[in-house]
Structure 1
């Protein structure tokens, strides 16, 4: 499987790795399925995390560690969505807005977690090339996926904030395909945010019927 970490091609003077490309393609598919509120977004996300772990391991330890958390949360999300009572008539999850208490808890956890992880990276420089942005993405991804697992519209906002740092970080560290994909993530996030926002207002009315599986 060494070919996964070999160069696939070069684009705009950037070397594209097979693992970086394939993992992020699965990540895009998972995000699209998440926007469609399909429970299948979670196993696809797990597979993306597994491939990207191999891509990042040994270079961006924070990003590699993030993929481990991504896989764990993907399993949790799959379980949570399968057992959720907040499902619409078409079998998909029904999104909701978080309470102010939930928002405060997630924001506090994100801030404290970012500081803690960044200090860990700074204490052990071999863990990450860019401690603060790497820690920010690490923790932000966990918060976003947790909110998604709970069916909260706010998970899209969290993903958008992660993207704002993820694009320059990946380009700066040679993961060009990840950088390009983060740009596409941004577009999908805006689409998903609007869709979930509207559906959270509609509840389980007939407008939910006919969504793709």
Structure 2
């Protein structure tokens, strides 16, 4: 019995130390993130760490308008990821993405065929995906879309009830995609992770 208690204490202590290290690292540098929640309210985060089902950081007061959020008062807050509809990184910085890395792609994610769209609008990089035979065949806005050098990152997730009903998902999930552009942007080869497992995906330019 004592060994079980000891092992439990060590396990819990390890998790606490890992979380503390993650918080220290995440709060050690300034960030620029805009969060839109499921009620269409906006927040600005100058420091933000996402751990499991919670997001921890220094967030501004809420606003119905996505303007001047960084000028609002910021306080330490803990929110659940289920209340987050979208997150935009560096939204006030106009991004440049080589045009050959944007456009419409045919995507295959572990046998699921679909359409991937990447575009820049008003200096912000956006992405969306649609799988006709998956997730009710609806268009899904991607989160955390980023392209640097020849690497693409984005998140496909269902983290709130509105998204779950829209996609018909049986449970919440988060898929993290990382891909590398090949042949001057004509194709993307990479993988995505889901609950610790890794799956392959590939995408080919349609037009």
Same fold per TM (> 0.5)? no
TM-score w.r.t. length of structure 2:
0.25
Answer 1 or 2: which has greater strand percent: 2
Q: Which has the larger radius of gyration?
A: 2
Answer 1 or 2: which has greater helix percent: 1
